[in-house]
Amino acid sequence: MNSSGNWTSRFAVRGVFWREYLDWAAINLPFYTYPVLHFFMTLFFFFFAAPARRILLAHLAIILPGSSGALNYLRVFRIFHNYAWTISEAAIQKLNKEEFAYEIIGGKWLDQLGAAPGAIVLTAHMGNYDLGAALFAEKFNRAIRVVRAPEPDRQTEQHLSASLEKSGEGAIKVDYNTAGALLSFDLLNALRRGEIVSIQGDRTEGDLVATPAQLFGRNVRLPDGPFVLAQVAQVPLYPLFIARSGYRSYQIVVREPITVLRSGRDRELDLAPAVANWCRVLEQMIAERWDQWFAFAPGFLADEQKS
Amino acid sequence: MNRNHKGAFYFPLFRLLAMLRGGNAIRSESNAVEAWLVGLMSYLIHYLFFAALLLPGNITVWRGALLLVALAFWIWLFWLLLLYFNSLIIRLLHLCGFFRAIPNRRLQSALWGILTTAMAWILLDGSPALREVGAIWLVAAAMNLAAAMILIFSNGARVAGK
């Protein structure tokens, strides 16, 4: 992780400068300048964020087998463009408290989640997951603990945490998923107190404990934390995704909750069906909404071996 | 966040038309058509203004095409600088005690509108095609001003979520 002392890291692709610019833009820009500015900003990052571009190209080749390489460049542009809209609309919601339209798919499971005495929301780097946490806290008037993958830049990480906590008006607490047992105990206690914990379950980074899984016919490693937590705390996992469906409008997609067995036998055997279930849901969501899967970090789908 | 003003408008002309049709004249930034239409129209005005100003008449086709492509990016940078410069004007106005209750983005919108209208006015001196684009903007701006006056007097100028 970059330290805050490195001045040039502020301007790196994932540096804090762009996040601060986004906040400034949300306050200062007339709404009708966004379409043009987003187009050019996307073009800028399409050329300068080459590692992310290559990762997305590799992902698309797996998600859409047989797709044309040239067309995949345009698809990557579309993903970058969607990301620009998504993060800017999250900033607008946070700073201007503007109105957003949303549609709920799987309403009965969302109501179940809202009333659950402790549950885990299993989500992915898809659509507007930050906006989703704020929306959940507001809709159900409940506190939520959001566990995020660490950012490569410390200042960006601090900025994102502050933003998310601000948008939730005190109902959101952000934790970063780093190696170590302290956070696990903290989250377990939160679940036992009846809180909701939201975890991104589509990639693992660094030294985190991972579980083997299958996605798009590939052997991948997914974080096993959410599954172990669900097993120990005996709470269900609710797959939940916030997908952008148009200008300032979103779809909240909730899938059937996943339960983790606790038979007292081998833990891996108990976790395996739940992990397979999650993979099936995740694979379906990514296949449907590949243009909103913002998996820019290395070390996931494209790096793993074909089974 | 769960307020939904989809179908409401930001610009006075559309809001007045909505009111006359029995709808709501509430001001909202949630209309995608407005965002794209006005965004692309103002980009076109700025682009044509600078193209007419900067491109020399005696230029080869290829050089001209290259300059027109470069100009597209120059307009983007110009917009970023313009928005920053406008934000400084707004900060100065706030320091002097003016418009403190109005959100920055609305003041930016007013400054943006003034500048774009001035550019459209200058386009009237250009070729027939430029004149036409400039005239469309000026007519739209005039109709919006008139609609704003009507909305003010009819007490329809309400703001969503403010």
Mean per-residue pLDDT of chain A: 86
Which chain A residues contact residue B35 at CB under 8 A?
31-32, 34-35, 247
Q: Which residue ranges make up each domain of chain B?
A: 38-146
Contact A31 B104 (CB under 8 A): no
pLDDT given for residue B25 in this prediction? 86
- Taking the Cβ of residue A93 and every Cβ of chain B, the question of whether any pair is shorter than 8 Å is answered with yes
Q: Is the dihedral of CA B30, B34, B37, B42 positive or negative?
A: negative
Strand pairing report for A218-223 and A119-123? unpaired
Unique residue bearing structure tokens 């900060």: B91
pLDDT given for residue B5 in this prediction? 59
Q: What pTM did the predictor assign?
A: 0.89
Which chain B residues contact residue A103 at CB under 8 A?
none
Which chain B residues contact residue A28 at CB under 8 A?
83, 86-87, 90, 104-105, 108
Find out whether A182 and A155 touch, Cβ atoms under 8 Å.
no
Contact B104 A27 (CB under 8 A): yes
DSSP string, A67-94: --HHHHHHHHHHHHHHHHHHHHHHHHHH
Tokens of B141: 């701006």
Torsion of Cα atoms, A36 then A38 then A39 then A40, to 10°: 90
Residue of B3, B87, B112 with shortest CB distance to A99? B3
pLDDT given for residue A134 in this prediction? 75
As for the ipTM of the complex, it is 0.91
- Chosen from A31, A40, A89 to mutate, greatest number of chain B CBs within 10 A: A31
Q: What is the largest CA-CA distance in chain A?
A: 60
Strand pairing report for A218-223 and A101-105? unpaired
Report the Cα B55 to chain-centroid distance in Å: 24
Residue B12 clears pLDDT 70, i.e. is over it: yes
| Distance to chain B for A277, nearest Cα, Å | 31
pLDDT given for residue A127 in this prediction? 83
Helical pair A154-167 and A16-28, crossing angle rounded to 10 deg: 40
pLDDT for A40-83, tens place per residue?
Answer: 999 999 999 999 999 999 999 999 999 998 999 999 999 999 99
pLDDT for B63-118, tens place per residue?
Answer: 989 999 999 999 999 999 999 999 999 999 999 999 999 999 999 999 999 999 99
Unique residue bearing structure tokens 């005239």: B135
pLDDT given for residue B2 in this prediction? 47
List of residues 6+ apart from A285 with CB closer than 8 A: A124, A126, A239, A241, A253
Report the Cα B45 to chain-centroid distance in Å: 10
Residue B159 clears pLDDT 70, i.e. is over it: no
Which chain B residues contact residue A100 at CB under 8 A?
1-2, 4, 30
Tokens of A73: 């460049």
Q: What is the rounded CA–CA span in Å between residue A94 and residue A183?
A: 27
Which chain A residues contact residue B73 at CB under 8 A?
40
Tokens of A256: 């059937």
- Taking the Cβ of residue A248 and every Cβ of chain B, the question of whether any pair is shorter than 8 Å is answered with yes
